Structure 1
Amino acid sequence: MTDISLPKPPVRRFLLLHGLDNHRPKEHWMWWLAESLRRRGEQVLYPQFPAPDRPSLGTWTELLRAELAQLGDRERVVVAHSLGTALWLRAAQNLPDELRVDRVLLVSPLGEQAFCAENRNEEFAVPDVDPERVAAASDKPLRAVISTTDPYAPVDAATWAKELGVGVDFLPGAGHITPGDGYGPWPGVLDWCLDESRTGFGS
């Protein structure tokens, strides 16, 4: 009798959370990351959030919870960029235990000055974040990557990270870490995704 062995199921699943005005263009590092992970046999959820040009916190949070519910019982990894980081920080404070994840990477988190009517994102502002509740939403401490020239980053990013208990890596002169800043292929983010013990972050 022929022994037909089934392929082993992936040991983890990734959820990518994009930001404002992001229609998942192929030149974005998130698209590159999703494709790079999938080529390695990883399972990746990269949803298009509704109305990315006019985002709704309620609608985005509802979709986020639905996507988290599909991550299953494997290692659960979230990678968020820009407004996606604010979405995570808002949602993380009220996540039920069954939606908790293992690891979270916040790329280009937003400071208070980034939330305004002009940017169409006021309701995503993250006032009075409870560090304990945010930390409880993931097994490992959050990691953030912040550019030293990001106009939307927290004004005092080091203090912001310390108050939230977030480990942070600073990228020199990387703008808002977008394709326009040279971030299509980005080996550093792929390395972090594939190595759960990795803490330091490269460009």
Structure 2
Amino acid sequence: MPRRPTRTVPTVLLYGWGGSGPGHWQRLLADDLLAAGREVRFPEFPNPDEPELEPWLSTLAETLDGLPEDGYDVLGHSLGAVLWLHHVHRPNTSPRPARVALVAPPTPELDEAAVASFFPVPMEIDAVRAGADGTVLVGGDVDPHCPEGIAAAYARPLKMAATLVEGGGHLNVDSGFGPWPAVLSWCGRDNLAFF
């Protein structure tokens, strides 16, 4: 049976509060994709330790500029996933991606002064569906930043399936993600399903 070609579209990585430091799966993924000759856009958001929604949305818009309509992927982790949900609720948010993976978004009602401008999270089903050809939710079990779980917090309100990673926690370095072969595999396949 012939081997399917590997997906080669650009990938946009959106990190969470405080950034994705050394050893985080997003940094390792960026290195792997770049080594494979893929285009990676990994914006540096202003004040990652004290984020504000509007400057982050502006940086995101600049990052997406010039990407092909329906021809790139987005992986947002934690606050980066929340940022994407705000983005798709704005008018004129083209170019539209082919696929989006929202990984370990924190509880949509987070009450934390340092990130208050990002909450509550907008959750209009039609806006999320129109924001990409397909969007997938990925969360760890027992995520301390989303104690109700990704299914209750996001999947049910958005009427989307969610992939649960056993032992995943917040899917960050503290919970062992680090190297994460599944996310590299997702970037190389055409289908939306995470596993």
1:110 is matched with 106
In the superposition, the TM-score normalised over structure 2's length comes to 0.88
Q: Look up the SS of the partner of 2:72 in the other structure.
A: strand
Deviations 1:88-126 (A, max 9, x none): 001111142632111100110111353411xx1111013
Who is 1:4 aligned against?
A: none
Larger radius of gyration: 1
**C-alpha separation in 2, matches of 1:97 and 1:128:** 15
Identity among equivalent positions (%) equals: 32
The amino acid that maps onto 1:49 is: F
Unmatched tracts of structure 2, length 5 or more? 1-6
Q: Single out whichever of 66-75 and 25-34 deviates more from structure 2.
A: 66-75
Partner of 2:4: none
In the TM superposition, residue 197 of structure 1 has moved relative to its aligned partner by 1.3
Report the CA distance shift for 1:101/1:77 in structure 2 as closer, same or farther (over 3 A): same
Alpha-carbon distance change, 95 to 189 in structure 1, aligned in 2, over 3 angstroms: farther
- Match in the other structure for 2:95: 99
Identify unmatched segments of 5+ residues in structure 1: 1-9
- Contact kept? 1:12, 1:74, Cα under 8 Å: no
Report the Cα distance in structure 2 between the residues aligned to 1:95 and 1:39, rounded to whole angstroms. 35
Q: What's the TM-score once normalised by structure 1's chain length?
A: 0.85
Match of 2:143?
Answer: 150
Q: Which amino acid aligns with 1:180?
A: D
Structural mapping, 1:175-194, within 5 Å: 175-194=169-188
Give the SS at the match of 1:100. coil
Map of 1:90 onto structure 2? 86
The answer for the alignment partner of 1:43 in structure 2 is: 39
